[in-house]
Structures are given as structure tokens and as C-alpha cells.
Structure 1
Amino acid sequence: MDGMTATADDFFDQALVEESAKKSGLLWVQPQGGGQSRPLWHAWHDGAVVVVGDGGEQPLHGLTAGAVAAVTVRSKDKWGRLVGWQARVVALEPRSEGWVGAVEELKGKRLNAPDTDTIADRWARECRVLRLEPVGAPTEQPGAMPDASHAAEPMPSPATTRQPIPAGLPKLVAGRLRRKR
């Protein structure tokens, strides 16, 4: 859309990206060159997704200024993939005009912050605020989704799967149900 005449499809694509990002509380971001796709909480501000991370907030591994990232937004009601797009990563300079506007939007989305009164100061000292600016047409959208499953291996964890139920449990539950009648 940069430097070209905008068409109705361009406006539809832009509206789809904007509305899906505004309505979703979570999106998935994969840094350029592969890497692990990560869920990030975000806000929509001034034509782009803004995120805050590192320094005690969500990790922004692999997202560097000037790079490109793949963004996938899920449907809020069905939680499936709704739209995917490429984004240019732009780092916002702490206390700049763009940073202040982004932080104001993000503060409202930050749940359970330990320091709500001084959160902007902490973010300026310790964190990075990034803009993920949409580039080009969506790569995935309703009616044009890939056939691949996109399932990923779970991350390693010390958690275990559920153990088989004890052999006597079905009899115990059935007995309680009989006694209730």
C-alpha cells in the first residue's frame, strides 16, 4: 500500500488487521528467520500493534528494530486463527511522543501491574516498547487460510501428564450415585 493507489481490497485488508488486533487480547508473533512463535498481549495504537516487554514484562526474544515478524491474530470468540500479516518492528525511544501514546494505550491493557502509578517510569528504565507496523496484504485471512495444521511441539516442561485413575474410583463414584437416588 506504500506509494501505490489504495484499492477497496487494501482498505478491507487494513480494516481486517486493525479490527482483529483491537478485539483480540492476545496475538502470536514469530520473529524473522523462524524462531519460536510467542503469545504477546498488546494494544492497537496509531495504525500498529504496540507491545511492551523484557525487564520483568513479557519476553520479546528475537524482536529487534528493523526486522520483520509474522503476526497471527486469533478470533476472540472461537480462538482460531483469524488473520496473519507481516509486520515491521520499530523500537520506540523512551519518553518520545510515540512512546508516550503507546504506553498510555498499553497501561490500560496491563492487568495486575504491581506499580500502576509508576509503571511508565519502570517501562522507560527497564523495558522495550515496540511497534509492529503492518506491511503489505494479510498472509492469512478468512477464505484464504493454509491447509497445514500449524500444530507445534509443546515446550519442554517438568509438568507431567495425568496418571490413570485408581482402579477402585469408578466403583466408589457409582456407589455414591446409587445412594443419592
Structure 2
Amino acid sequence: MTQTLLDQALVEEATKKSGLIWVRGTGPARSLWHVWHDGAVCVVGDGPGEQPFPGLADGATAEVTVRSKDKGGRLVTWTAAVTELAPGTEPWEAAVAELKGKRLNAPDAEQMTERWARECRVLRLEPRGASTDLPDGSLAARPLPTSATTRLPVPAALPRLLMKRKKKRG
């Protein structure tokens, strides 16, 4: 009994403080931003401009791995029961109110909740049972394919512009 309470406390505190969690449904694990609300993780996605979470279905289970916010290492892994919240219901409204406050850089902040109701899914991942043991290996994997890019060719004029700044300072 005491170990179960300690496991629950660890799952809740670690998940509340972590900005990202890794969730594995039927496919590969994906990193998701989330909120902890009413004893469970709530996530929004699977719509235009939002995070994808394929492999997570209503009524299924998922494996959630929580990372340390300061060091980035794994803290705890736990099993979750996945429930899709229906738009307009009281649980959906409460979850969306929390999610809205954490959503960064939304292109349509004023109409965001209406868009989520029309085009996205809001999932609740509720902890079930005790946390699982952390694996011994690194679990490193190739990044999943994405259309997002972070590297672009360096503009041809950039080296000259940087050299001009150094000359002016000197």
C-alpha cells in the first residue's frame, strides 16, 4: 500500500513538473507537451498546426515516460488508460481551459478552443497501476520523419556582414 502511494506521488509530481512526456501507443514513442489536470495527463493534437499522436486511441493503453525538467533524463515510466474527451462536455471544457494556458505560439489564440473542438482530439491519459522499471539501455532512436526543418543554408553575404562588424568594433 505504501509503495503504491509513493508510486502515485512520483508519477504525479514528475509529470506535473516536466514540460514534455514521451508517449507510446501502438507506434513509436512521441514527445508531447501536456498539462496535468485532475489526476491525469491531458494532451491536444491530431489537427492542423497541433502535435500528432498516431497510435493513441480511445480505450487503449499507452506507456508514458517522464523526463526531468532540469537534466532531461528519464525519471519514471507508467502505464496510462487513454480516454478521448468529447467536445463540449464538462471534462473537455476543464481540460481545454488548462491546455489553453500552456499552448505557446498559437496562430489563432482567440479562436483556438473552437478550432480544437472542430479539428483536434483532446485525450486524457490516466495512470493505471504501478510505475514500471526504467530500462538499462539508452533507448536512443532515429528521429521520426517530419516536414519541419531547423537548418537552412547560410546566406552568402553573412560572412561578409560578420566581418564588417568586427572591423567596426576594432
Distance in 1, Cα, partners of 2:59 & 2:146 = 33
Residue 91 of structure 2 corresponds to which residue in structure 1?
A: 98
User: In the TM superposition, what is the alpha-carbon distance from 1:41 to its structure 2 partner?
Assistant: 0.4
Match of 2:63 among 58, 67, 70: 70
Q: Does 2:3 align with 1:9? A: yes
Q: Where does the alignment leave 5 or more consecutive residues of structure 1 unmatched?
A: 1-6, 162-179
User: In the TM superposition, what is the alpha-carbon distance from 1:156 to its structure 2 partner?
Assistant: 5.0
Letter in 2 for 1:136: G
Match of 1:25 among 19, 23, 35: 19
Residue 50 of structure 1 corresponds to which residue in structure 2?
A: 42
Residue 82 of structure 1 corresponds to which residue in structure 2?
A: 75
Distance in 2, Cα, partners of 1:58 & 1:156 = 13
Flag the 1:136–1:118 CA change in 2: closer, same or farther, 3 A: same
The number of residue pairs the alignment matches comes to 149
Q: Where does the alignment leave 5 or more consecutive residues of structure 2 unmatched?
A: 152-169
The superposition leaves residues 65-116 of structure 1 with CA deviations (integer Å, 9 ceiling, x where unpaired) of 0111100000001100001000010000101010001001100110011111
Distance in 2, Cα, partners of 1:54 & 1:44 = 19
**What SS does structure 2 have at the residue aligned with 1:139?**
coil
Distance in 2, Cα, partners of 1:17 & 1:51 = 16
Letter in 2 for 1:13: D
Alignment of 1:77-156 (within 5 A): 77-140=70-133, 145-155=134-144
Greater radius of gyration (CA): 1
User: In the TM superposition, what is the alpha-carbon distance from 1:19 to its structure 2 partner?
Assistant: 0.8
Q: CA RMSD in A?
A: 1.9
**What SS does structure 1 have at the residue aligned with 2:131?**
strand
User: In the TM superposition, what is the alpha-carbon distance from 1:10 to its structure 2 partner?
Assistant: 1.5
Flag the 1:104–1:138 CA change in 2: closer, same or farther, 3 A: same
The superposition leaves residues 18-71 of structure 1 with CA deviations (integer Å, 9 ceiling, x where unpaired) of 111111110000004xx2110000000110000000112100111000111100
Flag the 1:152–1:62 CA change in 2: closer, same or farther, 3 A: same
Flag the 1:156–1:89 CA change in 2: closer, same or farther, 3 A: closer
